[in-house]
DNA sequence: ACCTGGTTCCATGCGATGCAAGATACCTGG
DNA sequence: CCAGGTATCTTGCATCGCATGGAACCAGGT
């Protein structure tokens, strides 16, 4: 994404990420601990959820503040040490909760976008 | 939803609505003009996107400010006059743009929630 | 005429979130 | 010693959902 990209498409995508990014990051930690730049790359490869460091690190700080993740420093073979983030029980519960809520939300949006809204009345 | 409902489920759902509500409201106006309370009821019936007047009216003000909708006053058979909101060409373009972006976003989130993230490497 | 209730509209202030920009530190290689 | 890549974090801003409160209009009962 270009720095000065203020198209309507970019704006819609930016607003979409709100609130979802947190749980996608938790989902990435589900099977093993991850570190910041690793999460950043995984989000970038997904395409639709690409973001920046200025978004991920404050998010990770909030997750740690709310006891959804714990962190451990670990040496790296090449480069500075990495802070690995792992799910706590609360974090896993939050992820499960979101996984339960998401399908209903997704289907509701799909319905609004695809269902016609005729003048005569919805369905009553 | 109770007024003082601050459960994790409610919190996740609240954050999810961010950015999506705007386009669901536009989608409701796709086939005919709507007025405020009518939009509020339609959102409430969907379940997952139920919200309040304090959310809808500022949203409608922003849509009008950005020239995505136009408004016309119309008398009501029972009650005060209603302000009907209709899509402009820009509004319809924004809705089409969102309709194009949404499936990719939705599938990306689905992938994060359902795809395992094994230790050995993603897929490379 | 009064007043109670329902309907419809809107404004204000707060908390949460994504983001651009910048700062700091570590390691490797020339 | 210095340049570049890797990795972490902070600050200030803009946007958005929401609770709360207020204002206006109409119908019906007393």
Q: Say how far apart CA B77 and CA A40 lie, in whole Å.
A: 56
C-beta atoms of A112 and B49 within 8 A: yes
Number of domains in chain B: 1
CA–CA–CA angle B3, B17, A5 (5° rounding):
145
Instruction: Say if B3 falls within a structural domain.
Output: no
How far B96 CA sits from the closest chain A CA (Å)? 9
Q: What is the extent of the structural domain holding B33?
A: 8-102
Instruction: Say if B82 falls within a structural domain.
Output: yes
Instruction: Say if B42 falls within a structural domain.
Output: yes
Is residue B108 within 8 A of residue A47, CB to CB? The reply is yes
Q: Is the CB of A79 under 7 A from strand C?
A: yes
Q: Is the CB of A47 under 7 A from strand C?
A: no
| pLDDT score of A11 | 67
Q: Is the CB of B99 under 7 A from strand D?
A: no
* Residue B65: CATH number of its domain: 1.10.10.10
Q: Which two tokens stand for residue B100?
A: 């194009």
Instruction: Say if B94 falls within a structural domain.
Output: yes
Residue A113, CB-side half-sphere exposure with 13 Å CA sphere: 21
C-beta atoms of A117 and B32 within 8 A: yes
Chain D footprint bases within 7 A of protein beta carbons: 5-12, 15-22, 24-27
Number of H helices, E strands in chain A: 5, 3
Edge-to-edge strand ranges of the sheet holding A69-74 = A34-35, A82-87, A69-74
CA of A119 to C1' of D24 (A): 28
pLDDT in tens, chain B (124 residues): 443 344 566 666 777 888 899 999 999 999 999 999 999 999 999 888 999 999 999 999 999 999 999 999 998 877 889 999 999 999 999 999 999 999 999 999 999 999 887 765 444 4
Q: Predicted confidence band at A86 (pLDDT cuts at 50, 70, 90)? A: very high
DSSP 3-state of B19: coil
The residues, ordered by sequence, that sit 6+ positions from A7 with a Cβ below 8 Å of its Cβ are none
How far A83 CA sits from the closest chain B CA (Å)? 17
The separation between CA A82 and the C-alpha centre of its own chain, rounded to angstroms, equals 21
Instruction: Say if B36 falls within a structural domain.
Output: yes
Instruction: Say if A17 falls within a structural domain.
Output: yes
| pLDDT score of B103 | 94
Instruction: Say if A2 falls within a structural domain.
Output: no
Instruction: Say if A99 falls within a structural domain.
Output: yes
Is residue A93 within 8 A of residue A118, CB to CB? The reply is no
């Amino acid at each position: 994404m270009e720095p000065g990209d203020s198209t309507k498409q970019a704006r819609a995508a930016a607003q979409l990420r709100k609130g979802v990014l947190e749980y996608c990051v938790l989902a990435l930690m589900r099977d093993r601990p991850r570190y910041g730049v690793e999460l950043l790359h995984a989000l970038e490869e997904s395409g639709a959820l690409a973001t920046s460091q200025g978004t991920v690190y404050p998010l990770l700080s909030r997750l740690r503040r709310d006891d959804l993740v714990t962190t451990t420093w670990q040496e790296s073979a090449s480069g500075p040490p990495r802070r690995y983030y792992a799910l706590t029980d609360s974090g896993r519960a939050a992820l499960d909760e979101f996984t339960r809520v998401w399908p209903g939300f997704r289907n509701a949006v799909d319905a609004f976008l695809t269902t016609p809204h005729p003048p005569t009345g919805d369905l009553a």
